[in-house]
């Protein structure tokens, strides 16, 4: 199928460009990741981030903290990294074990080092169209649309899912490209009325095979951000097999948006380094 958006190849291209930039300009960016507890999925994500950093020449430090640690000690660790001039990016691997106040902990990260783009300051600056660090998955979605020359100006773009991590930042990024944006969520009535009209459909609902082929128009561009486990295999929020028959472009799961999230993190670390070393 020639309508597949290949996130693996796109992310490799992005990493290659980041590596070139780091080598050409003699940059020494570094990322510190704080991992609390023993979540297996989180460990895999951290390992992937480490591998990607090593690939492009970003120094990587992993700080493992026990699940029994106090919130105060996690915050002390973040403050120490904020003060360390050799650390350019700080990331707290989510989700944190239950009992921790994620918002409070994340907002201890200096906005200049918040490479996940989750602090209130970065989120506010995104809305106001000021320079900021942007959440990595929405950034990865926008990179893919750009790399595949998908026009957004004046186009109807429908987002399904209103999470702080994906849906809400995407609204702002798409508006900056002059798209006409609608957003659907679990309380929306007749989602199909919106999805069927969309020139570009971005789905991040966390609901396997939510979008079926009768919910999209011919020629739609579909970006599937969902990652769901079904019968020991991964699937997205879109019925890929059927919807791909109508889509002009579509991302697979896995191999679509996921690789671009990590590549976008690397881009953010380099951006943070440059801002801190102006």
pLDDT in tens, 25-45: 999 999 999 999 999 989 999
Q: What is the CA 69 to chain-centroid distance, rounded?
A: 28
pLDDT at 231: 82
The question of whether 49 is a catalytic residue gets the answer yes
Q: What is the mean pLDDT of the chain?
A: 97
Q: Return the domain boundaries, the chain.
A: 26-112, 136-258
Catalytic hit among 49, 168, 267, 271: 49
For the CA atoms of 200, 188, 94, 58, the dihedral, rounded to the nearest 10 degrees, stands at 20
The question of whether 177 is a catalytic residue gets the answer no
Structure-token match 């670390």, residue found: 269
Beta-carbon contacts of residue 28 (< 8 Å; ≥ 6 apart): 59, 273
Per-residue pLDDT averaged across 233-244, rounded? 95
Considering the chain, what percentage of its residues have pLDDT values greater than 70?
100
Catalytic hit among 15, 113, 116, 168: 116
The question of whether 193 is a catalytic residue gets the answer no
Residue 1 has pLDDT above 90, yes or no: no
Are 21 and 234 in contact, with CB atoms under 8 Å apart? no
Residue 241 has pLDDT above 80, yes or no: yes
Q: Which alpha helices (DSSP H) does the chain contain, by range? A: 7-24, 40-56, 71-83, 102-106, 120-127, 136-147, 167-176, 191-195, 240-243, 257-276
pLDDT at 232: 81
Strands 156-160 and 221-224: unpaired
pLDDT band of residue 22 (cuts 50, 70, 90) is very high
Residue 167 has pLDDT above 80, yes or no: yes
pLDDT in tens, 45-85: 999 999 999 999 999 999 999 999 999 999 999 999 999 99
CATH annotation of 26-112: 3.40.50.10860
Matching fold, domains 26-112 and 136-258: yes
Between 234 and 198, the more confident residue is 198
CATH architecture of 136-258: 3-Layer(aba) Sandwich (3.40)
Per-residue pLDDT averaged across 101-120, rounded? 97
Considering the chain, what percentage of its residues have pLDDT values greater than 90?
97
Structural tokens at position 132: 């900021």
pLDDT in tens, 169-196: 999 999 999 999 999 999 999 999 999 9
pLDDT at 118: 96
Among candidates 237, 107, 123, which has minimal Cα distance to 169? 123
């Amino acid at each position: 199928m020639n309508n597949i958006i290949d996130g693996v190849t796109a992310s490799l291209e992005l990493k290659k460009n980041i590596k070139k930039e780091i080598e050409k300009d003699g940059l020494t960016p570094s990322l510190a990741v704080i991992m609390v507890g023993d979540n297996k999925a989180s460990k895999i994500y951290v390992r992937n981030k480490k591998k990607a950093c090593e690939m492009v020449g970003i120094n990587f430090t992993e700080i493992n903290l026990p699940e029994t640690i106090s919130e105060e000690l996690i915050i002390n660790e973040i403050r120490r990294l904020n003060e360390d001039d050799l650390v350019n990016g700080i990331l707290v691997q989510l989700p944190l074990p239950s009992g921790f106040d994620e918002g409070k902990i994340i907002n201890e990260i200096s906005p200049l080092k918040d490479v996940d783009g989750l602090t209130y300051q970065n989120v506010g600056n995104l809305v106001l169209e000021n320079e900021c660090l942007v959440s990595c998955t929405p950034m990865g979605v926008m990179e893919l649309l750009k790399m595949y020359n998908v026009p957004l100006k004046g186009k109807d773009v429908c987002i399904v899912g209103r999470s702080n991590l994906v849906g809400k930042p995407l609204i702002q990024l798409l508006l900056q490209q002059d798209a006409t944006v609608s957003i659907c969520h679990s309380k929306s009535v007749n989602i199909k009325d919106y999805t069927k009209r969309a020139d570009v459909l971005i789905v991040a609902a966390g609901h396997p095979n939510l979008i079926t082929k009768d919910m999209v128009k011919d020629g739609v561009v579909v970006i599937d951000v969902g990652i769901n486990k079904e019968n020991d295999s991964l699937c997205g929020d879109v019925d890929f097999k059927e919807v791909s028959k109508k889509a002009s472009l579509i991302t697979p799961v896995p191999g679509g948006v996921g690789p671009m999230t990590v590549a976008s993190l690397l881009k953010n670390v380099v951006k943070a380094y440059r801002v801190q070393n102006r």
